[in-house]
């Protein structure tokens, strides 16, 4: 079956969230926390990401977007690092750090190549505006923005994979989920999507990242340029 559409995980797969959040934390918190380990700060904040989404996935609360979840978890992260007295305006700017992430270096050119052959959309847990900000910042052109904003739930809930397939209207096996995370790809495959794994060995900084999929995938690639090569893009 021919692949016709690619839907992308974004945090870690297309953009380097750790360096970006650390950069903004360093910039915004230096006055409040001299000597802050900004990478560890980014890790700690990211660590609260999945548990916060679980409150929505479980049905314990109605859908709220990731900006809201990050805003709620930030005070705990600041407290864990012993940082106090951060004004609300600075905390709001910190939440915007997640909108100001840089793509991994090969992504913009590889995405332009993929656009010649496939329909493209993010299928991320980030909201529409966050996806738009990352796309504009990094010169990425998508055909649509799917994911949490579109489905009002969070991966790996079934709605996000089913809605992504339905939105482009191809068969599930013509729609490929691209991610650096095996759990995302396992969920996508369970709904019939094709899957592509990208190695992101420095996603978590010194703690590494997935260098290979731990589940069966349709394609395993070193990065997005390698995937474009494997898919025969010029």
Question: Of 21-29, 50-58, 80-88, 132-140, which part binds a copy of itself (CB under 8 A)?
Answer: 132-140
135 binds a copy of itself, rule: CB under 8 A = yes
Please, what is the minimum distance in Å from the beta carbon of residue 146 to a copy of itself?
A: 8
141 binds a copy of itself, rule: CB under 8 A = yes
Number of continuous H segments (helices) and E segments (strands) in the chain: 11, 6
* Binds a copy of itself by CB under 8 A, chosen from 129, 158, 171, 212: 129
126 binds a copy of itself, rule: CB under 8 A = no
Contact, 17 vs 188, CB < 8 A?
no
Strand ranges, E, within the chain: 5-8, 119-124, 146-147, 175-179, 194-198, 219-221
| CA-closest candidate to residue 91, choices 161, 11, 165, 28 | 28
143 binds a copy of itself, rule: CB under 8 A = yes
Please, what is the minimum distance in Å from the beta carbon of residue 215 to a copy of itself?
A: 28
Task: Report the C-alpha gap between 70 and 56 in whole angstroms.
Answer: 13
Please, what is the minimum distance in Å from the beta carbon of residue 29 to a copy of itself?
A: 24
Question: Of 56-64, 121-129, 206-214, 220-228, which part binds a copy of itself (CB under 8 A)?
Answer: 121-129
Q: Which residue has the tokens 């559409």?
A: 5
149 binds a copy of itself, rule: CB under 8 A = yes
Task: Report the C-alpha gap between 36 and 163 in whole angstroms.
Answer: 41
């Amino acid at each position: 079956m021919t692949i016709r559409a690619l839907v992308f995980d974004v945090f870690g797969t297309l953009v380097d969230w750790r360096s970006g959040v650390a950069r903004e934390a360093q910039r915004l918190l230096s006055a409040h926390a001299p000597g802050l380990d900004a990478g560890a700060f980014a890790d700690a904040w990211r660590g609260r990401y999945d548990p916060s989404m679980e409150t929505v996935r479980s049905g314990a609360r109605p859908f709220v977007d990731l900006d809201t979840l990050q805003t709620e978890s930030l005070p705990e992260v600041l407290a864990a690092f012993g940082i106090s007295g951060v004004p609300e305006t600075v905390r709001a700017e910190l939440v915007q750090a997640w909108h100001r992430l840089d793509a991994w270096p090969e992504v913009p050119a590889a995405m332009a190549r993929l656009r010649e052959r496939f329909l493209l959309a993010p299928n991320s847990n980030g909201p529409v505006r966050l996806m738009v900000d990352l796309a504009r910042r990094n010169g990425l052109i998508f055909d649509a923005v799917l994911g949490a904003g579109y489905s009002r739930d969070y991966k790996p809930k079934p709605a996000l994979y089913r809605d992504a397939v339905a939105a482009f209207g191809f068969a599930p096996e013509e729609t490929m989920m691209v991610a650096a995370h095996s759990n995302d790809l396992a969920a996508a495959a369970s709904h019939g999507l094709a899957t592509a794994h990208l190695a992101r060995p420095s996603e978590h900084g010194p703690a590494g990242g997935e260098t290979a999929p731990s589940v069966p995938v349709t394609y395993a690639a070193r990065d997005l340029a390698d995937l474009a090569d494997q898919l025969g893009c010029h």
